[in-house]
């Protein structure tokens, strides 16, 4: 993959795990530059870049979702994540809290207090990262955003309260760190069931589903057309546009 939208490698250390953001066990941190490039490419398939709803149905600890929430703050109105793993969602909640003014302010207060008491360099670095990320967060017209994560098996049913989603971006379970669970794993067709359910959440006239998975995976579904496929290292990115005829 050529980096079309993120041509220059920047310093992404503000997003390092266990600085401000946390990583759930068995969910490796997704590279920030790649995440940003894939999100920019996803946006390029939409008619509008404003007031968008982003959903990650396998959000794990929410690291990817939170990075996107910061980097694309100005484009996003709603940010939703779900996962079948209740423990991972505890981490996701902590990460997504940082995307709200109250949550970030609270985190900064704690960091300031800890640094005053203990004076550790890592605490100061985390505080400086929070201050830099704060500028990204407030440079947006959508101060009142809906940001949520919830427990859900995406291979079983459509999440009842989600509609008009514009971007689904998800890093599928693969490799030896995360694996499919739930109804789809039992029936042995998790990707199809996931896409069936995602389809029902979409704004069919302005949406894109971006699947991140390993290079060997074959992803296709009768209700979607593949508009782009890219490969990068061990991963591939598949961009699917929903068909409106169903």
Residues near ligand SAM (CB under 6 A): 24, 27, 30, 57-64, 83-85, 88, 153-155, 171, 173, 178, 180-182, 184
| End-to-end Cα, the chain, rounded Å | 32
Q: 76 or 127: whose CB is closer to ligand SAM?
A: 76
Which residues neighbour 88 within 8 Å (Cβ) at sequence distance 6 or greater? 24, 25, 27, 59, 60, 61
Nearer to ligand SAM, 38 or 111 (CB): 38
Closest CA to 88 of 111, 110, 57: 57
For the chain, how many residues are written?
246
| 56: three-class secondary structure by DSSP | strand
- Looking at beta carbons, which residue is closest to ligand SAM? 60
Q: Using the minimum distance from each CB to ligand SAM, give the nearer residue, 6 or 153.
A: 153
Report residue 189 as tokens: 């067709």
Least distance CB 143 / ligand SAM (angstroms): 25
| CB of 48 vs ligand SAM, minimal distance in Å | 25
Question: If phi over 0 gives left and psi between -120 and 50 gives alpha, with beta otherwise, what is residue 52?
Answer: beta
Q: How far is the CB of 153 from ligand SAM (least distance, A)?
A: 4
Contact partners, residue 166, CB within 8 Å, separation at least 6: 46, 52, 53, 54, 202, 203, 206, 207, 208
| Residue 80: strand, helix, or coil | strand
CA distance 101 to 69: 13
Nearer to ligand SAM, 73 or 123 (CB): 73
CB of 144 to ligand SAM, least distance (A): 25
Tokens of 124: 């100061």
Task: Determine how many CB atoms are found less than 10 A away from the CB of residue 117.
Answer: 9
Minimum CB–partner distance for residue 200 and ligand SAM (Å): 15
Looking at the Cβ atoms of 31 and 103, the one nearer to ligand SAM is 31
- Nearest approach in angstroms of CB 52 to ligand SAM is 19
Which lies closer to ligand SAM via its Cβ, residue 6 or residue 83? 83
């Amino acid at each position: 993959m050529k980096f079309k939208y993120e041509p220059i490698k920047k310093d992404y250390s503000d997003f390092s795990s266990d600085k401000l953001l946390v990583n759930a066990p068995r969910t490796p941190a997704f590279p920030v530059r790649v995440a940003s490039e894939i999100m920019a490419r996803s946006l390029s398939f939409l008619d509008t870049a404003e007031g968008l709803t982003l959903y990650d149905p396998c959000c794990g600890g929410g690291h990817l979702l939170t990075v996107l929430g910061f980097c694309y703050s100005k484009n996003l109105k709603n940010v939703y994540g779900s996962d079948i793993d209740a423990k991972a969602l505890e981490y996701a909640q902590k990460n997504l809290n940082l995307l709200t003014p109250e949550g970030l302010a609270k985190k900064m207060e704690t960091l300031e207090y800890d640094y005053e008491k203990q004076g550790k360099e890592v605490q100061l670095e985390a505080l400086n990262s929070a201050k830099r990320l704060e500028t990204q967060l407030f440079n947006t017209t959508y101060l009142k955003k809906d940001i949520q994560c919830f427990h859900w098996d995406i291979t079983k049913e459509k999440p009842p309260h989600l509609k008009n989603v514009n971007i689904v971006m998800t890093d599928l379970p693969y490799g030896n760190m995360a694996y499919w669970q739930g109804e789809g794993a039992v029936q042995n067709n998790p990707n199809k069931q996931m896409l069936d359910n995602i389809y029902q959440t979409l704004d069919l006239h302005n949406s894109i589903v971006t699947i991140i998975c390993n290079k060997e995976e074959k992803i296709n579904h009768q209700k979607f057309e593949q508009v782009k496929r890219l490969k990068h290292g061990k991963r591939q990115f598949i961009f699917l546009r929903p068909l409106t005829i169903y």
